[in-house]
Homo-oligomer: A and B are copies of this chain.
Amino acid sequence: MIRAGILGGSGYTGFRLTTYLARHPHIEIAFVTSRQEKGKRFSELYGALGGLCDTVFTDPADVENENIDILFTCAPDQVSMHVVPGWLERGVRVIDLAGDYRMNSGEAYTAWYGKPHISPSYIEKSVYGLTELNRERIRTAKLISNPGCYPTSVILGLAPLISKDLIEASDVYVNSISGISGAGRDLKNFKLFYETDSNVMPYGFGRKHKHVGEMEQELTKLAGVPVMVTFAPHVGPYKTGILSTIPVIVREGVRKHDLDEAYEEAYNSEFFVRYHASGLPESKFVADTNFCDIGCMIVEGTRRAIIVSTICNLGKGASGQAVQNMNVMCGFDEKEGLL
Q: Which residues of A contact B (CB under 8 A)?
A: 12, 23, 47-48, 50-52, 173, 175, 177, 179-181, 185, 187-189, 191-203, 205-207, 228, 230, 232, 234, 236-241, 243, 245, 247, 271, 274, 280-287, 289, 291, 293, 297-300, 302, 304, 306, 308, 310, 339
Contact = CB atoms under 8 A, between A and B. Distances in A.
A194 B194 contact: no
Contacts of A23: 339
A12 B199 CA distance: 16
Given A177-B177, A193-B197, A199-B241, 16 more contacts: A47-B281, A47-B293, A50-B274, A51-B271, A180-B193, A185-B189, A193-B195, A195-B284, A197-B238, A198-B241, A198-B284, A199-B238, A200-B236, A200-B310, A201-B282, A205-B299
Give the number of copies in the complex. 4
A245 B274 contact: no
Contact of A282 (B47, B188, B241, B245): B47
Contacts of A47: 281-282, 284-285, 293
B194 A239 contact: yes
6 contacts: A50-B274, A177-B234, A193-B196, A198-B198, A199-B287, A205-B299
Contacts of A179: 198
Contacts of A245: 175, 202, 232, 234
Contacts of A287: 48, 198-199
Given A180-B194, A191-B193, A193-B196, A202 B299 contact: no
Contact of A193 (B192, B247, B299, B306): B192
Contacts of A196: 193
Contact of A236 (B202, B237, B286, B339): B237
Contacts of A274: 50-51
Contacts of A185: 189, 192, 194
A205 B284 contact: no
Chain B CB count within 10 A is highest, among A181, A196, A282, A304, for A282
A324 to B, nearest CB: 15
A308 B185 CA distance: 27
Nearest to A296: B205
Contacts of A52: 339
Contact of A284 (B48, B51, B180): B48
Contacts of A228: 302
A239 B339 contact: no
The 3 closest A-B pairs by CB, nearest first: A47-B285, A206-B299, A199-B284
